[in-house]
A = this chain, B = another copy of it.
Amino acid sequence: MTARMEDMVIIDGLTLCNWDRELLLELHRGGVTCIHACCALWEGARETLSKIGKWYRFIEENADLVMLVRQGADIHTARSQGKVGIILGAQNASPLEDDLSLIEVFSQLGLKIMQLTYNNQNLIGSSCYEENDSGLSRFGKLVIEEMNRVGMLIDLSHVGERTTLDAIAHSGRPVSITHANPNWIYPSKRNKSKEVLQALRDNGGVLGLCIYPHLINGTETTLDEFSEMVARTVEFMGINQVAIGTDLTLKWGDDFLHWMRMGRWTNKMEYGAGSAANPSWPVWPSWFQGPADFPNIAEVLLARGFSRKEVEAVMGGNWLHFFSESFAPDKEVKLCV
Tell me whether A50 and B102 are in contact (CB under 8 A).
Answer: yes
A213 within 8 A of B: no
Which residues of chain B come closer than 8 Å to A56, judged between CB atoms?
101, 104-105, 108
Contact of A99 with B by CB under 8 A: yes
Query: Would A53 and B110 count as touching, CB distance under 8 A?
Result: no
Contact B45 A101 (CB under 8 A): no
Interface membership of A54, Cβ < 8 A: yes
Which B residues are in CB contact (< 8 Å) with A100?
53
A310 to B108, CA, bound (A): 38
Contact present for A53 and B104 (CB under 8 Å)? yes
**Contact B52 A105, beta carbon cutoff 8 Å:** yes
Per-position binary interface string of chain A over residues 20-54, scored 1 when its CB falls under 8 Å from any chain B CB and 0 otherwise? 00000000000000000000000011100110111
Number of interface residues of A (CB under 8 A): 19
Say yes or no: A99-B53 contact (C-beta < 8 A), given A108-B108, A108-B109.
Answer: yes
Q: Write the chain B residue with the least CB distance to A109.
A: B108
Q: How many copies does the complex hold?
A: 2
**Is A57 close to B, CB under 8 A?**
yes
Contact in complex: A101, B46 (CB < 8 Å):
no
The smallest C-beta distance from A312 to any residue of chain B, in angstroms, reads: 33
- Pair B45/A99 contact, Cβ less than 8 Å: no
Assuming A56-B105, A104-B56, is B110 touching A50 (CB within 8 A)? no
Q: Which residue of B lies closest to A102 (CB)?
A: B53
Are A57 and B105 interface neighbours, CB within 8 A?
Answer: no
Let me know if A53 and B109 touch, CB within 8 A: no
A146 to chain B, nearest CB (A): 10
Complex Cα–Cα for A50 and B46 (A): 11
Which chain B residue has the least Cβ–Cβ distance from A110?
B108
Give A residues with C-beta under 8 Å from B.
Answer: 44-46, 49-50, 52-54, 56-57, 99-102, 104-105, 108-110
